[in-house]
Amino acid sequence: MKNSLSHMRRSLTFRFRSMTTDPTGSVSMEYGLVGTLISIAIVGALSSTGGGVADKWNNFSNTIISYLR
């Protein structure tokens, strides 16, 4: 039992160290963070202009409906 716990501890320590020193993992992490920030910016921009765009489409729709009557 003690030997297996010691082996698990060494294995986890090795995996943790390899994750922290592997440069390819940090590059993919940076790409993930950049993608997340871009997504947040897009959602923020669309939500701030969403009401204005909806009003314009409603105005356009009402104009077309009034011409068709």
Question: Where along the chain do its domains lie?
Answer: 3-68
Q: Per-residue b/e over 6-45, b at no fewer than 16 CB within 10 Å?
A: eeeeeeeeeeeeeeeeeeeeeeeeeeeeeeeeeeeeeeee
**Is the confidence at residue 1, as pLDDT, over 60?**
no
**C-alpha closest to that of 42 among 50, 51, 30, 53:** 50
* 25 Cβ neighbours under 8 A, 6+ residues apart: 19
Which pLDDT score is estimated for 2? Answer: 57
How many Cα atoms within 13 Å fall on the side-chain side of residue 27?
Answer: 3
Model confidence band, residue 9 (pLDDT cutoffs 50, 70, 90) = confident
Model pTM score: 0.43
The string of pLDDT tens digits covering residues 18-64 is 666 666 666 777 888 898 999 999 888 877 776 777 788 889 999 99
